[in-house]
Amino acid sequence: MEGRRQMNLVLILARGFASKLATATFVSDENGDAVYYNEAAERILGQTFAEGTRTPKEEWATTYQTEELDGTPMPLERNPAGVALLERRPAHHRFRMTGLDGVKRELSVTAIPLLASEDDLVGMVAVFWEHQEE
**CB atoms < 10 A from the CB of 94, how many?**
13
Q: Considering the chain, what percentage of its residues have pLDDT values greater than 90? A: 72
Furthest CA-CA distance within the chain: 53
Nearest to 7 by CA among 34, 27, 29: 29
Nearest to 40 by CA among 114, 127, 133, 109: 127
Position with higher pLDDT, 2 vs 23: 23
Q: State yes or no: pLDDT of 33 exceeds 60.
A: yes
Nearest to 40 by CA among 65, 12, 19: 19
Whether residue 23 contacts residue 40, with contact meaning beta carbons closer than 8 Å, is answered with: yes
User: In which band, very low, low, confident or very high, does the pLDDT at 4 lie, cut at 50, 70 and 90?
Assistant: low
The answer, as to whether pTM is greater than 0.95, is no
The whole-number average pLDDT for the span 86-96 is 97
pLDDT in the model for residue 44: 95
Can you list the domains of the chain with their CATH numbers?
A: 9-131 (3.30.450.20)
